[in-house]
Amino acid sequence: MSTEANNNEKSKKEGHGAVILHNPNVKEADADVLYHFALNTESHNFKDMFGDVKFVCVGGSPRRMGHFANFIMKELHYQLPAGQALTNIAKATDRYALYKIGPVLAASHGMGIPSVSIMLHEIIKLLFHAGAKDVLFFRIGTCGGLGLEAGTVVVTEQPVDGLLRPQMDMQILGKVVTREAKLDPDLCEELVSCASIHDTFNTIKGKTMCTMDFYEGQARLDGAICEYTEEEKAEFLQKCYNNGIRNIEMESLCFAAMCHQANIKGAVACVTLLDRLKEDQIDVSEKTLKSWDERPAHLVARLIKNRLNIA
Ligand code: R2B
Ligand code: URA
């Protein structure tokens, strides 16, 4: 085992379920600013506000995460303190939305790796400052499916990049830094087991390709630029399918790599909006989209309720 891997293992054992911050600068600083959430350790008491967080659920759109916050509040039969309404804690900024519903934190992350990366840096710091322990992370989102009926939920076994590698390459100080993109296999199984025979949709496990772009990065023919043929597109998507890839989205790689580094167990569940082996354009009614959007949230809600022994 390398020295870095050894140190990681050691700090995980010492951490006892605590979030690990690989940054002495922040640990030693008197104060810390979470700029994109409009939070500051000097003006907010993180331990009081977030010390009891056990589940962090993230998804792309601020509006969807607002709906999720209301949904999970009903599912958990959670009562807000008298006179309080469910509000966006980060309302002083319009970068991300943040809601707290008892032990559940719900945040939006925008689209793509740069956006989810900023959000996760700040959420991981938030949990570290709060002293939160044994926190599980879930990404609930949308994706393109491969060889699946639209509306199917895919729980990610392994995210891969656009070169089909299970790693996230970053450019740091003029060098390529490679990080393992690992999700928790037991949490993945647990989430899949939350699917019910009464569901009106299928839930499957599969590899997820995480790309840097929605159009060319996902082999679409309908972007503003396209320099490959329909045959080349079909050949590549078939190769992805043959490699066990069942869906394509834009955040899972970073989500997995950052959770793994921070000693956080993470899982990803996304609903497919179309079958990319058949089409490129998402042409679904608003009503259908809304009901499909809720499918990953239902699985995660069941898992959270099981964990909290809520019937
Ligand atoms: C799924 O949907 C978004 C693109 O439409 C992107 O954030 C993703 O991963
Ligand atoms: N999100 C993606 O990233 N790709 C799709 O095809 C659909 C949703």
Looking at all shown ligands, the one closest to residue 119's CA atom is 1
Q: Which residues are annotated as a binding site for phosphate?
A: 95, 139-142
Would you state the pLDDT for residue 2?
Answer: 46
C-alpha 42 to ligand 1 mean position (Å): 35
CA distance 197 to 92: 43
Q: What is the pLDDT of residues 127-167, one digit of tens each?
A: 999 999 999 999 999 999 999 999 999 999 999 999 999 99
pLDDT band at 81 (very low <50, low <70, confident <90, very high): confident
C-alpha 292 to ligand 2 mean position (Å): 13
H helices of the chain, in order, are 3-15, 24-28, 46-50, 62-75, 113-130, 185-193, 230-242, 252-261, 286-307
Q: What is the pLDDT of residues 2-25, one digit of tens each?
A: 444 554 555 555 457 899 999 999
- Cβ–Cβ under 8 Å, residues 76 and 101: yes
| Any ligand 1 atom below 6 A from CB of 142 | yes
Looking at all shown ligands, the one closest to residue 248's CA atom is 2
- H or E segment and range at residue 44: none
The overall average pLDDT reported for the chain is: 95
Would you state the pLDDT for residue 263?
Answer: 95
- Please state which of the four CATH numbers 3.40.190.10, 3.40.50.2300, 3.40.50.1580, 3.30.420.130 is assigned to the domain occupying 3-307: 3.40.50.1580
Does the pLDDT at position 202 exceed 80? yes
Query: Which tokens go with 24?
Result: 């002495």
Of 152, 168, 112, 116, nearest to 137 by C-alpha is 116
Q: What is the pLDDT of residues 242-261, one digit of tens each?
A: 999 999 999 999 999 999 99
Does the pLDDT at position 126 exceed 80? yes
> Which residue CA neighbors atom 8 of ligand 2 most closely?
143
| Any ligand 2 atom below 6 A from CB of 248 | yes
Does the pLDDT at position 301 exceed 80? yes
User: Which residue out of 113, 251, 272 has the highest number of ligand 1 atoms within 8 Å of its CB and is therefore the one to mutate?
Assistant: 251
| Any ligand 1 atom below 6 A from CB of 59 | no
Q: Span 83-92, mean pLDDT?
A: 94
Would you state the pLDDT for residue 15?
Answer: 55
Does the pLDDT at position 51 exceed 70? yes
Does the pLDDT at position 35 exceed 80? yes
Would you state the pLDDT for residue 240?
Answer: 98
Residue with the larger pLDDT of the pair 103 and 17: 103
Query: Which tokens go with 192?
Result: 């899949």
Does the pLDDT at position 209 exceed 80? yes
Would you state the pLDDT for residue 9?
Answer: 55
* pTM, rounded to two decimals: 0.95
> Which residue CA neighbors atom 6 of ligand 2 most closely?
144
Does the pLDDT at position 1 exceed 60? no
User: Which residue out of 118, 153, 250 has the highest number of ligand 1 atoms within 8 Å of its CB and is therefore the one to mutate?
Assistant: 250
Query: Which tokens go with 274?
Result: 């179309």
CA distance 54 to 135: 4
Of 26, 241, 276, 271, nearest to 128 by C-alpha is 26
Looking at all shown ligands, the one closest to residue 275's CA atom is 2
Sequence ranges of the domains in the chain: 3-307
| Any ligand 1 atom below 6 A from CB of 60 | yes
Of 114, 69, 68, nearest to 213 by C-alpha is 114
- Using CB atoms within 10 A of its CB, is residue 93 exposed (0-12), middle (13-18) or buried (19+)? middle
Would you state the pLDDT for residue 4?
Answer: 46
| Any ligand 2 atom below 6 A from CB of 218 | yes
C-alpha 25 to ligand 2 mean position (Å): 37
C-alpha 59 to ligand 2 mean position (Å): 13
Q: Which residues are annotated as a binding site?
A: 95, 139-142, 218, 220
Would you state the pLDDT for residue 102?
Answer: 96
